[in-house]
Amino acid sequence: MKQMTHAEMLRLKRWNTPTIYNGWEAITRHDRTSGWFNREETRDYMPEMGPMVGRAITVVIEPGNPEHPKALPRAAAEYRDYVASVPGPKIVLVHDLDKPEVIGSFWGEVNANTHRALGCVGTITDGAIRDLDEMRNAGFKAIARRMCVGHAFSTPVRWGCEVEVFGTTVEPGRLIHADKHGFLVIPPEDEEQILEAALFMDANECNTVIPAARSAAGRSFEEILAGLDAAGRAFRDAAASQFESGGEW
C-alpha cells in the first residue's frame, strides 16, 4: 500500500474534512457509518487555521492521578523520543482517562511549542487545553472537549498505542484529516486514492447538483425539480463511472 507523501498531505489540507469524507466514501470498502470518524461532538479552538493533516501520534494521560509522576519519572523524556522518531507532519491524539471529568490539561504554551518543534501540527484531545492564545501563537491547532486552568498531573502514561478519542479508536500512524467539523481517520488502503477521489467528487458536485440548484431564477418549480433530478442522475453516473460508487446523490 502506498503511503501519502508530505506534498500530497499539503494538497489534502486545502480541502475541508467533509470534502475528504465525500471522496473517501466513494472509494472505501469499509463501513462508512462507523469506526473512521468522531462519534462525539468536537470543538475546534482554532478554526481560522483551517484543516490539519498528519500521522497520528498517540498518548494516554490521567491528570487526576498524582501517582504517575512518581511511578514514571522518565515518561516525559521517553515520550518525546517517541514523538521525534515518527516522520511528520503529525497530529497528537490524546486519550484522557479522567473523562468525563476534566482535572488538568496536557496542553499549554510549553507543550504546544515543544511538539511544534518536533514536527507536530496540532492535537485532538478528548480532554482539555489551556493557554489558548499561546497555543495559537505557536501555530499549534487544537481540537478538544473544553478548556481548563491547570495541568494537574498530566504525565504521559502510555504512548504509541491504540487510543480512543471522541468515541473513535485510532491506531498510531493513521492518516488523520481534521477541522471544525470533526476528524476522519483514513484507512491505509485508501490513502493512495483519497486525494484524487476528493477532487473528483468535489468537481462532480460543481458540474451537476450545485449548478442545478443555483440556476433556479425565472424557472417554475416543475422545471427546477426536473433539473435537480437530471443533475442527480448525472452525478451518480459520473461517480459510478469513476469509482463504481454512486455517491450521496
What are 32-44's pLDDT values in tens digits? Answer: 888 899 999 999 9
Q: How far apart are CA 147 and CA 127, in angstroms?
A: 8
Ordered by start, the domain boundaries in the chain are 8-36+187-249, 45-183
- Per-residue pLDDT averaged across 239-249, rounded? 74
Q: Which three cell numbers stand for residue 51?
A: 484543516
What's the pLDDT score for residue 246? 58
Q: How far is CA 169 from the centre of its chain?
A: 13
Name the residue among 218, 207, 198 with its Cα closest to residue 20.
198
Mean pLDDT of the chain: 94
H helices, E strands: number in the chain: 9, 10
Query: The C-alpha cell of 196 is what?
Result: 484524487
Q: What is the distance between the alpha carbons of residues 172 and 93, in angstroms, rounded to a whole number?
A: 9
| Nearest-angstrom CA–CA distance, 79 and 77 | 5
At 216 the pLDDT is 85
Looking at the predicted structure, is the pLDDT value of residue 111 above 70? yes
Q: What is the structure's pLDDT at 51?
A: 98
pTM of the shown model: 0.93
* Contact call for residues 246 and 204 (beta carbons, < 8 A): no
- pLDDT of res. 16: 98
Give the per-residue pLDDT at 82.
Answer: 98
- H helices of 51-190, where? 67-71, 75-85, 109-117, 132-137
- Kindly tell me if the per-residue pLDDT of 64 is higher than 80: yes
Instruction: Tell me what pLDDT residue 247 has.
Output: 61
Query: For residue 61, with 0-12 CB atoms within 10 Å meaning exposed, 13-18 middle and 19 or more buried, which class applies?
Result: buried
- Hey, is 168 helix, strand or coil? strand
Determine the pLDDT at residue 249.
57
Average pLDDT over residues 18-22: 97
**Torsions phi, psi for 199 (to 5 deg):** -65, -40
Burial class (CB in 10 A: 0-12, 13-18, 19+), 11: middle
- Give me the mean pLDDT over the 149-163 stretch: 96
Measured in whole angstroms, the distance separating CA 93 from the mean position of its chain's CA atoms is 10
pLDDT single digits (tens) 182-230:
999 999 999 999 999 999 999 999 999 999 999 988 999 999 999 999 9
The pLDDT, as a whole number, for residue 210 is 93
88 contact partners, CB below 8 Å, separation of at least 6: 6, 54, 55, 118, 119, 120, 121
What pLDDT shows up at residue 194? Answer: 96
User: 144 and 74 in contact (C-beta within 8 Å)?
Assistant: no
> 233-243: b or e for each residue (b if 16 or more CB lie within 10 Å)?
ebbbebbeebb
Instruction: Please report the pLDDT score of residue 34 as a whole number.
Output: 85
Between 2.40.160.20, 1.10.10.60, 3.50.30.40, 3.40.47.10, what CATH number should domain 45-183 receive? Answer: 3.50.30.40
Q: How confident is the model at residue 1 (pLDDT cuts 50, 70, 90)?
A: confident
